[in-house]
Structure 1
Amino acid sequence: MINRIFSDQKRFTLLFFVILFVDIWVKLYCPIFPYRFISKPFVILVLFAFYYVNKRGKGLKQHLWVFLGLTFFLLGDLLIIKAADIVFLGLSLLLFSLGKIFFCLKFSHKKDFNVLRLVPFSIIMFSYAVFIISIVLNGLKKFLVPALLSFFLSLLMVQFAYLRKGVFNKISYRYVFLGVITFIISESIMAVKTFRQDLPFQDFLIMMLYGTAMYFIVLGIVRERRYKISFS
């Protein structure tokens, strides 16, 4: 029964978004302890299960970066529940940063890429980064270096996802790229909320976009197929 749910994309999608909406509801309407510590881990845990069921048998080396990335995001999720505490916020930034590094390693490949193709995209992402940083800069204070590093790693993750184009199949590329773009939007809202000011529907948007981002990233990795290189 479990395998049938996790091996069927439609059933898994329904299960995942039910779990995500339950977690959002708990965040909005229930006390943090113990309810949020129960609901939040399941968002990542079901992605673990989905990935494992669909990619098992491929060897540990094939899975290592994904497992490590999801593990550190799961730990970061638990700590950021207490984001009002400066220590927990700092540790969560560290864990999320490590998770991003492992996803960057997963998205990286050895195939040469056209540098000119990357330039316009890099300019757009750099401009976006400057815009967000300019908004939250005055509120960062002690978190200036950790926050800038975390945001830099997010941009790096987006670039690595972008460079998968032409190396992996289109459906995998589109899911992963959509996932990392959605992730950086969620992170941007979280940064403005934490270091600048409250925004309308911020808690719902952060969690909805974050969960959707992780769903698309993992789904894209599961659907990943490398194009064969022709030497003719």
Structure 2
Amino acid sequence: MINSIFSSQKRFTFLFFVVLFVDIWVKLNCPVFPYRFISKPLVILFLLMFYNVNKRGRGIKYHLWVFLGLSFFLVGDLLIINAANIIFLGLSLFFFSLGKIFFCLKFSHKKDFNVLRLVPFSIIMFSYAVFIIGIVLNELKEFLVPALLSFFLSLLMIQFAYLRKGVFNNKSYWYVLLGVTAFIISESIMAVKTFKQDLPFQDFLIMMLYGTAMYFIVLGIVSERRYKISFS
């Protein structure tokens, strides 16, 4: 029964977004303890189960980065529930950073890439980074270094996702790139909310974008097929 749900993309998609909307509803309407500690981990746990059922070939070492990345995001999710506590906030940044490192390792490859194609993308990402950092910089205080490091890893993650083009199939490429983009937007809203000011619909947007991001990243990895070509 479980395998039949998680092996079907349509069934899993429906179930996953039900779980995600339940978590968002819990966040907006219920006390944090114990309800959020039950609903929030389910988002990543369901993705771990989906990936475990649908992963293909090459043994556990090939999939280790994904399992570690999702696991560290799961720990970060639990810690950031109590983001008002600076210790828990700092630890959540640490575990999210570890998760991003493992996703960067997963997205990386040994194929050559076109440097000229990377330039306009790098300019766009640099401009976005300057914009977000400019908003929250003066409010970061003791979180200056960990927050900037975490954001740098997010930019590195989207760069590696972007460089998958032409190496992996288009379906996988666009799913992963869409997921990482949604993740960065979610993280940016979270940064402004935490360190600067409240925004309209912030809690809904953060969780909706975050859950959607992780869904597309995992779906993209599951759909991954490597092209048998080389770059000149």
Do they superpose with TM above 0.5? Answer: yes
Q: Distance in 1 between matches of 2:146 and 2:131?
A: 18
1:40-75 deviation digits (Å, cap 9, x = unpaired)? 100000000100001155401111000000000000
Q: Distance in 2 between matches of 1:139 and 1:19?
A: 34
SS of corresponding position for 1:218: helix
1:173-232 deviation digits (Å, cap 9, x = unpaired)? 00000000000000000000000000000000000000000000000000000001279x
Letter in 2 for 1:106: K
Aligned residue number for residue 182 of structure 1: 182
Aligned residue number for residue 171 of structure 2: 171
Q: Does residue 136 of structure 1 match 2:122? A: no
Q: Is the 8 A contact 2:183 2:214 kept in 1?
A: yes
SS of corresponding position for 1:109: coil
Equivalent positions of 1:95-174 (< 5 A) are: 95-174=95-174
Q: Distance in 2 between matches of 1:77 and 1:230?
A: 39
TM-score (norm 1): 0.98
Q: Distance in 1 between matches of 2:195 and 2:230?
A: 50
Runs of 5+ consecutive residues of structure 1 not aligned to the other structure: none
Q: Is the 8 A contact 2:19 2:43 kept in 1?
A: yes
Q: Distance in 2 between matches of 1:147 and 1:26?
A: 27
Q: Distance in 1 between matches of 2:174 and 2:144?
A: 32
| CA separation of 1:11 and 1:46: change in aligned 2, threshold 3 A | same
Letter in 1 for 2:37: F
Aligned residue number for residue 192 of structure 2: 192
TM-score (norm 2): 0.98
SS of corresponding position for 1:221: helix
Aligned residue number for residue 213 of structure 1: 213
SS of corresponding position for 1:119: helix
Aligned residue number for residue 203 of structure 2: 203
Consecutive aligned runs of 4 or more in structure 1 exceeding 3 Å deviation: none
Q: Is the 8 A contact 2:192 2:198 kept in 1?
A: yes
Aligned residue number for residue 85 of structure 2: 85
Aligned residue number for residue 61 of structure 1: 61
RMSD of aligned C-alpha atoms?
Answer: 1.0
Runs of 5+ consecutive residues of structure 2 not aligned to the other structure: none
Q: Distance in 2 between matches of 1:111 and 1:194?
A: 39
1:107-130 deviation digits (Å, cap 9, x = unpaired)? 000000011110110010000000
Q: Is the 8 A contact 2:168 2:225 kept in 1?
A: yes
Equivalent positions of 1:23-62 (< 5 A) are: 23-55=23-55, 58-62=58-62
Q: Is the 8 A contact 2:172 2:220 kept in 1?
A: yes
Aligned residue number for residue 228 of structure 1: 228
Shift of 1:36: 0.4
